[in-house]
Structure 1
Amino acid sequence: MFGLFKKKTKTEILQKKYKSLLKEWHNLSKINRSESDLKYAQAQEILQEIESLQNK
């Protein structure tokens, strides 16, 4: 209840987006390999952003 109106940090937002992209990547890997590779590349870029935020 106390965390109901808590604003999410940029890291939390990026982690959620990263998780979503990995899920899409996995689903597309069975259907369309080229789109799957694009989703994986996007996920890796977000992972680098997360790591850079955590190192600061």
Structure 2
Amino acid sequence: MFGLFKKKSEKEILQKKYTQMLAEVHRLSQINRAQSDKLMAEAEEIAKKIDSLKD
């Protein structure tokens, strides 16, 4: 209840986006491997941003 209006941090937003991208990568890996690989590269860039925010 008290966290209802709490603004999410940039790290939380990036983690959610990363998780969604991995789910999409898995779905695409069965349909279009090239597009899946491209999206995985983008997800890795987000992972690097998340790691840099930990410092």
Bin the TM-score by the shorter chain. Answer: over 0.9
TM-score, structure 1 as length reference: 0.96
Gaps of 5+ in 1: none
Give the Cα–Cα distance (whole angstroms) in 2 for the partners of residues 23 and 48 of structure 1: 18
Deviations 1:4-56 (A, max 9, x none): 0000000000000000100000000000000000110010000000000011x
| Fraction of identical pairs, as percent | 58
Gaps of 5+ in 2: none
1:42 corresponding residue in structure 2: 42
**Is 1:10 paired with 2:6?**
no
TM-score, structure 2 as length reference: 0.98
Alignment length (residue pairs): 55
